[in-house]
Amino acid sequence: MPRPPETDEGWYVLHDLRTVDWDAWREAPERERDRAIAEGREYLEDAVAVADADGGDSAVFAVLGHEADLMVVHLRPTLDDLDYLERQFAQTALAGYTERTASYVSVTEASGYTGAEDYFDPDAEADPGIRNYIESRLYPEIPDSEFVSFYPMDKRREPEQNWYDLSFEERAEYMDAHGDIGRSYAGKVSQIISGSVGLDDFEWGITLFADDPTDVKDLLYEMRFDPSSSRFAEFGPFYSGRQFLPADLEPFLAGERVPTTDPSAEDGDAGRSALDEALADLEVEPPADGHAVLVTSEADAEAVQEEVDGLRGNFEHYDTHRGTEVHPTDDGAAVVSVWETSSAADTASGFLAEIAGAVETQVGPVGDAVADGEEESDAASDAAAGDADAQGDGGTAASTDPGIRADLEEQGIYAGTPHGEDVFALVCYSEADVDELAAEVEDLADGFDRYDTHRGTEVYEATDEGRDDAGRDAQPAVVSLWDTEDAAGTASDYLSDLPGIVREAGEGEGFGTMGMFYTVKPEHREDFTEQFDVVGDLLGDMDGHRETTLYANREDPNDMFIASQWASKDDAMEFFRSDAFADTVEWGRDVLADRPRHVFLA
């Protein structure tokens, strides 16, 4: 039998490749995305810092192509260490938005071919240079190179091309020539070679690193003509990626360019983000911490200043706003807006990105927020929500995006699309003084009016008939209508910052529905409110009914909506399918200026 080479093993290696469920990620409430980012980033930062073991290394890569989105490479002293890392990731919220598409388990390996025999001979004294070289292969550091290429491989065992039938000397000669090619790329390409016989489907895993991906291509192309490859090598799938730091997990998931920071940056630059650098290039001193929006515009700086002055008036209503400034540039202007939380900065960016001449928008943490990895959420509660439907007078349902609806509901904002309308409706309730609330809403609506997607934002008060079952005055409501769901989502953060915003009075785990667009003919307003009393008596006898309130617009008393609270969706649907409701709708045709539409919200 041919003599096998001696081998030595070092650290165990796990290549963990995952796709991201982008649909689920986009639909997830912001609070859940924030949690997933925070937990994912903490996990990756701890792994890169090797906080879990006595030795090893880790790195994260954005994978190109359809096979995966992320690849995390771990090197650790034991398989137990790798098992722990796998299970720790499974505990993060980020794991729920990923699916493993491939993985590879191996162990770093050095073999006793040419030049290494003395290392494996217990009676010989190995050359210190050879010993250092082998130990660097057994206990490697993952380089800071941007590009990575990973692939598994086998040696052929065909009848006429069986690597394992060759003598030790023949194999050593092939490997020496093969190594000469690799050594010619020293300084351009580095490698981690790991053995996987008995550990995974192939015999070796090859991980190559370079700053220029064409160097990897040139190396592998040249090696294809070497007999050790052309005659004896079989290759598995190739995975190509680009390294980024854990701090860039949020921009990666947001579809932004990564790395935003240089993985090879000196320690003194750690914690400085690309946004910090961009601000420095503008000679703007980055704030000590926080979350910033940087918008570059090709428009005249004075025109930009005028637009920003209009927005700043709205921004300054919110405690999370640190400041917004315009800086003239050679090409136009740059707007810098700083906020305490990432969600507030994201919301502001939606408005700032629409200023005249805007060509680029950057959003992210700056200063200490980069180093500390702050992730904040504006969510106010943990209430769960079910499916949402919109029902019109014809009884046809139209779906409301459950992810956005749930996210808004956590902030005390109820959202839906009225049947038969190309608008998205938001409503929130406030315990603030109604005059104070109206003044704030007027300022906010003036800012919203700058955007073509805004239909209107108004304050509604309960009518004299609109008291709850305990006789208490219902809280005033704010209703905001938008042409698009994205615009409504952006506006929702501003609504949640209005004074005294609370969840709907009396709400528990039940099902709420708000009736929208009850525009009453002026001469029939009294008839409508009297009919509401009749319907209210009927509702009081319905199983599952909790309370129903009639609201009127402060500026237009003929513009109304009804907020109704039920124990379950089935209870509400039983009423809306009833003959009594059908009779009420039929009666309303004579007194309403427009047909009634309803938005059902879980």
Token pair 């001979």: residue = 121
Token pair 């002055």: residue = 309
Q: What does DSSP say about strands 57-63 and 413-416: parallel, antiparallel, or unpaired?
A: unpaired
Q: Which distant-in-sequence residues (6+ apart) come within 8 Å of 128 by Cβ?
A: none
Do residues 83 and 53 make contact, with C-beta atoms less than 8 angstroms apart? no
Do residues 361 and 298 make contact, with C-beta atoms less than 8 angstroms apart? no
Looking at this protein, which amino acid is placed at residue 308? Answer: V
Q: How far is CA 410 from the centre of its chain?
A: 18
Do residues 553 and 559 make contact, with C-beta atoms less than 8 angstroms apart? yes
Please calculate the CA angle 441-445-447 and round it to the nearest 5 degrees.
125
Count of beta carbons in the 10 Å neighbourhood of residue 74: 26
Please calculate the CA angle 257-147-139 and round it to the nearest 5 degrees.
125
Query: Which neighbouring-strand residues pair with 8?
Result: 110
What is the distance between the alpha carbons of residues 502 and 222, in angstroms, rounded to a whole number?
A: 67
Q: Which distant-in-sequence residues (6+ apart) come within 8 Å of 527 by Cβ?
A: 591
Q: How far is CA 535 from the centre of its chain?
A: 45
The residue count for the chain: 602
Closest by Cα among 182, 149, 178 to 163: 178
What is the distance between the alpha carbons of residues 190 and 333, in angstroms, rounded to a whole number?
A: 44
Stretch (H or E) spanning 512? strand 511-519
* CB-count burial class (<10 Å; 0-12, 13-18, 19+) for 249: buried
What six digits make up the tokens of 359?
């060509």
What six digits make up the tokens of 440?
């704030």
Helix, strand, coil percent values for the chain (each to nearest 5) = 35, 30, 35
Closest by Cα among 58, 37, 16, 53 to 247: 37
What six digits make up the tokens of 263?
């993985």
Q: For this structure, is 221 an active site residue?
A: no
Closest by Cα among 56, 178, 157 to 113: 178
CA distances from 195 to 13, 153, 207 (A): 9, 10, 12
Q: How far apart are the first and last CA of the chain?
A: 73
CA distances from 244 to 44, 148, 326, 437 (A): 11, 11, 31, 46
Closest by Cα among 183, 172, 198 to 12: 198
What is the distance between the alpha carbons of residues 550 and 474, in angstroms, rounded to a whole number?
A: 9
CA-only gyration radius of the chain, Å: 32
Query: Which neighbouring-strand residues pair with 562?
Result: 515, 550
Catalytic residue among 12, 113, 119, 151: 151
Do residues 514 and 478 make contact, with C-beta atoms less than 8 angstroms apart? no
The residues that are catalytic are 151
